[in-house]
A and B are shown apart, each in its own frame.
Chain A
């Protein structure tokens, strides 16, 4: 598996040229075994630490272009919060449009980096929260 170590700058150029898909050409995507395998025994990418699972190479390509994979793997967010973070990066951090890849990235993040419900007390459930008009 090729590991992307290219400087962030070059990817920014790509995004400015509106050619985000070319990253994938650089990567040379290969078919990844279905995630059923990963459920039995989680395999981690030795370089990035990402869970090796369906769509992980897409995530690796887009997310580690500018920042460490650790910024992803140390976090746990809901799908909505991951999307919000993507929008924030697009608005202020130079992340390019993700096109049809966006849903796949969110699928991956939701599958492997959702909040873990271990707490001593959770917030009051949403159906019991005030609704501001």
Chain B
């Protein structure tokens, strides 16, 4: 589609009158909670320095000074080197060098929760209900029925948070300050959403599907959904769109939606509902929590950095843009001049494929094309590798830039600023000191 080439992949402009108020709850960081607990305004300075600290500290290693107000924080089933951005709700990202595996291990997939995960999970009684205006009927399946009745499929699918890279936006955008690590590409097993929807019956006027999960709102209010998003019907019916119960041949990790979730590779991960218990087939764009207002939306027309944008000028994000990571070596490497440096990583491009990956070691002045693998399946990331020989000692940065099948590549500076800090696909950079 050459007419959309290079444009942000977003929905067409649509009216909404729902406020974005709920999104504020995202920002209930541990800092706010401690401030509340301590109730001492003079703590501000102290806390200010703590934010800087905590961001780069391994889990569990809490400064002595704060030991009385912080419980060491571990996430069940996750690598202790994940960087926790928020502990209520839990949000943690994976440092780039820990994403080196071709298939992301379960303990290294980021966690992005909007609410509180279900406390008690009874797999035997777990059900999934399909209903909605555009469903021919309302039908409920047990987990066992889903596994018995439909063909199983396994795909490697890239999940990336829409806000991955938000930390770089300037002026800053509010929300969890993801750097590079809200992305991963594990192997998922489940049934095709399309098979289940067709079994229930999809009316001709179907426009969208929306999900509901068993997680609860941060306030504990049972009448509020923490998040209820979805995708247009065309994405829902694609072969790779799964209702999954397994990651890398094991049960889903609790924090990634055990026992059942949706997986839409290449789209903002918020569309892939976790702890899945209901899917609605809608005859309109789904209007659940965080579908409206400014959540997971960008300006329909590009704006200058820092501009104010009204809700009705914000459009829903569809497929994620082309992007890549350097997962080896870790940034900050000291490297001997005489040796070659092997570098590698991954590249992905939403619903498209990556055609080309290039690296630069002279701040983008020259680029060299590197070896790139084919995707295992659609919506899976691809792997690239190269070998670099540095001309002389000094400080280098290795930059990586991927180009998708429409010829669209990653920017070297920040892409279009947007109020909520989504879709930062600026090229990843690592620092190397050649000695």
Report which A residues bind B (CB closer than 8 A).
117-122, 124-125, 127-132
Contacts and interface: CB of A to CB of B under 8 A. Distances in A.
Interface in B400-435: 412-414, 426, 429-433, 435
A131 B412 CA distance: 25
> Is chain A's binding surface mostly helix, strand, loop or mixed?
loop
B331 A128 contact: yes
A77 B170 CA distance: 18
Contacts of A121: 168, 412-414, 426
Contact of A131 (B171, B332, B413): B332
Nearest to A129: B431
A106 to B, nearest CB: 15
B249 interface: no
Contacts, number: 45
Interface string B281-307: 000000000000000000000000100
B73 interface: no
B331 A118 contact: no
Contacts of A124: 331, 397, 429-431
A128 B435 CA distance: 17
A122 B430 contact: no
21 contacts: A117-B172, A118-B305, A120-B170, A120-B414, A121-B168, A121-B413, A121-B414, A124-B431, A128-B332, A128-B430, A128-B431, A129-B331, A129-B332, A129-B431, A130-B332, A130-B334, A130-B395, A130-B431, A130-B432, A131-B334, A132-B435
Contacts of B333: 130
A122 B179 CA distance: 12
Given A124-B397, A124-B431, A129-B431, A118 B170 contact: yes
Contacts of B171: 117-118
Contacts of B56: 127
B: contact size bracket? 20 to 34
Contacts of A120: 170, 413-414
A127 to B, nearest CB: 5
A124 to B, nearest CB: 5
A40 to B, nearest CB: 16
Contacts of B397: 124
A48 B334 CA distance: 47
Interface in B33-77: 56
A132 B435 CA distance: 9
B393 to A, nearest CB: 11
Contacts of B431: 124, 128-130
Contacts of A128: 330-332, 430-431
A108 B380 CA distance: 52
A130 B329 CA distance: 12
Contacts of B412: 121
Nearest to B427: A121
